[in-house]
C-alpha cells in the first residue's frame, strides 16, 4: 500500500467541545481519517501559555477526548495522544527556538491579541515562543497537512519557515507542512455573537436534547422582528445561520420566506431548526456519553496513542540529534 499523507492537529483542553469547535475542526478531523494517516493530540502544554491554573486540565482532557470519540475519531485508525506525555516535543522546541528570530515571533498576530485580551504587562517567554512549540508538534510527525482554522495559518507559515531554516542550516530532516483549511461555516452562539466559551453562548456536543431546546428557543433573532406581525430578514439572523448548517434547502426556503413575509413566527422557525439539528447531534451525544461514563478507558486510549506517538517522536529525534551532533 502506498504510504498515505500524514495529518496532524491539536486542540487545547479548555473544556467541553462546542458546536463551533465541532463544525470548525473536529468534523473535518473525522473525515480525514478515511484517506490519511492521522495524529490528533491534546495540546496541554499550550494551556500554560495562558494560565498557571492547571487544576482543570486533567478533567478537561478527558471531557475533550470523550467529545472526540463521540464525534467519531477512531483510535484504531488515528493516533490520539497527549502532548505532555511526549517530552521529545520540548527537546525539539529548544532546538527549533535557536533557528527562530524573535522578530518573527513578535509579528505573529495571536501574540499581540493574547497580550491585549489578557492585559498582560509582562508576557512570558513561553507565550512568545508558543508558535515554536506548535512547530515542534507538527514537524515531529513530518505531517504533510495540518487541518486548522484560518486564525492558525500564520503559525503554519512560521512552521514552514522554521523547517526550511533548520533543513538548510543542518540537514534536511523536516517536511514542510501545509495548512488544510476547512470551509468553516459561520457558527453563531445563542446571543448572536461568534460561538465561544468565553461568551457563555455555546451549544455543547454533550448537551442533552432538552438542554439544546432550552438554549435555542430563547435565541437571539433579527431584532427587527419585535412582534409576530413584523417581517424579518433571515440574512441578519443567527438562527438562520444555524439553518444553513443543519436544514435541507427546501425547509430553509420555507423559513426564509416565512420570515420575510411574517408568515411564520420565530418560534416556528426555531422549532423547525431543532427538528433538523437534534437528530444530527443525538448520535454524537449518545456515543460521547457512553465514553464519558468510562473515563479509565479514555485514559487508556490516550496513553496507548501516546506510546505510538512517542515511538515516532523518538525516531525523529534520532535524526535530529544526528543532524545536530554536539557531544563528542
Ligand atoms: N495553537 C492551536 C490552537 O490554539 C493548538 C495547537 C497546538 C495546534 N499545536 C498544534 C494545532 C499543532 C495544530 C497543530 O488552537
Ligand atoms: Fe430569524 Fe427565523 Fe425569526 Fe426570521 S423567523 S428572525 S430567520 S428566527
Please report the domains of the chain, with CATH numbers, ordered by start residue: 6-187+294-323 (3.40.50.620), 206-288 (1.10.240.10)
CB 31, CB 7: distance < 8 Å: no
User: Quick one: cell of 162?
Assistant: 522554521
Query: What are the two backbone dihedrals, phi and then psi, of residue 148, each rounded to the nearest 5 degrees?
Result: -145, 170
68 and 40 Cβ atoms separated by less than 8 Å: yes
Sign of CA dihedral 196, 198, 201, 204: positive
CA of 137 to the centre of ligand 1 (A): 8
Ligand 2: centre distance to CA 240 (Å): 6
Give me the pLDDT at residue 51, please. Answer: 84
Tell the residue nearest (CA) to atom 3 of ligand 2.
266
Q: Name the DSSP letter for residue 24.
A: I
What pLDDT was estimated at residue 2?
A: 61
Centre of ligand 1 to C-alpha 223, Å, is 37
pTM, rounded to two decimals: 0.94
Q: Report how far ligand 1's centroid is from the alpha carbon of 201 (Å).
A: 23
How confident is the chain (328 residues) per 10-residue block, as mean pLDDT?
A: 87 93 93 97 95 93 97 98 98 97 95 91 94 98 94 95 97 97 86 93 96 97 95 97 96 97 97 98 97 97 98 98 96
- Ligand 2 binding pocket mutation candidate from 222, 223, 270 (most atoms within 8 A of CB): 222
- Please calculate the CA angle 6-9-15 and round it to the nearest 5 degrees: 155
Predicted pLDDT at 82? 98
From 41, 52, 50, select the one nearest 83 (Cα to Cα).
41
Tens-place pLDDT, residues 37-91: 999 999 999 999 988 899 999 999 999 999 999 999 999 999 999 999 999 999 9
Name the closest ligand to CA 89. Answer: 1
Residue 198's pLDDT is 87
Residue whose CA is at the smallest distance from ligand 2 atom 4: 259
Q: Is the CB of 9 under 6 A from ligand 1?
A: yes
Amino acid at each position: 500500500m502506498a504510504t498515505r499523507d500524514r495529518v496532524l492537529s491539536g486542540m487545547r483542553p479548555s473544556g467541553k467541545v462546542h458546536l463551533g469547535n465541532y463544525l470548525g475542526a473536529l468534523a473535518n478531523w473525522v473525515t480525514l481519517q478515511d484517506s490519511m494517516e492521522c495524529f490528533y493530540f491534546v495540546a496541554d502544554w499550550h494551556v500554560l501559555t495562558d494560565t498557571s491554573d492547571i487544576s482543570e486540565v486533567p478533567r478537561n482532557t478527558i471531557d475533550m477526548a470523550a467529545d472526540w470519540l463521540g464525534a467519531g475519531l477512531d483510535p484504531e485508525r488515528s493516533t490520539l495522544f497527549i502532548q505532555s506525555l511526549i517530552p521529545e516535543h520540548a527537546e525539539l522546541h529548544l532546538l527549533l527556538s535557536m533557528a527562530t528570530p524573535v522578530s518573527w515571533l513578535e509579528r505573529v498576530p495571536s501574540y499581540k491579541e493574547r497580550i491585549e485580551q489578557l492585559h498582560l504587562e509582562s508576557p512570558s517567554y513561553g507565550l512568545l515562543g508558543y508558535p515554536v512549540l506548535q512547530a515542534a508538534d507538527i514537524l515531529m510527525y513530518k505531517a504533510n497537512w495540518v487541518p486548522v482554522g484560518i486564525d492558525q495559518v500564520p503559525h503554519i507559515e512560521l512552521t514552514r519557515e522554521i523547517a526550511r531554516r533548520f533543513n538548510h542550516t543542518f540537514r534536511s530532516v523536516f517536511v514542510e507542512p501545509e495548512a488544510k483549511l476547512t470551509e468553516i461555516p459561520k457558527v453563531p452562539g445563542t446571543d448572536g455573537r461568534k460561538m465561544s466559551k468565553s461568551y457563555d453562548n455555546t451549544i455543547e456536543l454533550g448537551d442533552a436534547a432538552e438542554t439544546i431546546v432550552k438554549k435555542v428557543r430563547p435565541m437571539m433573532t433579527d431584532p427587527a422582528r419585535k412582534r409576530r406581525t413584523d417581517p424579518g430578514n433571515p440574512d441578519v439572523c443567527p438562527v438562520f445561520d444555524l439553518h444553513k448548517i443543519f436544514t435541507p434547502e427546501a425547509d430553509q426556503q420555507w423559513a426564509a420566506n416565512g420570515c420575510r413575509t411574517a408568515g411564520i413566527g420565530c418560534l416556528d422557525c426555531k422549532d423547525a431548526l431543532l427538528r433538523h439539528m437534534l437528530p444530527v447531534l443525538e448520535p454524537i451525544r449518545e456515543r460521547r456519553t457512553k465514553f464519558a461514563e468510562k473515563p479509565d478507558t479514555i485514559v487508556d486510549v490516550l496513553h496507548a496513542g501516546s506510546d505510538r506517538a512517542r515511538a515516532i517522536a523518538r525516531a525523529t529525534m534520532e535524526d535530529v540529534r544526528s543532524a545536530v551532533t554536539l557531544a563528542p
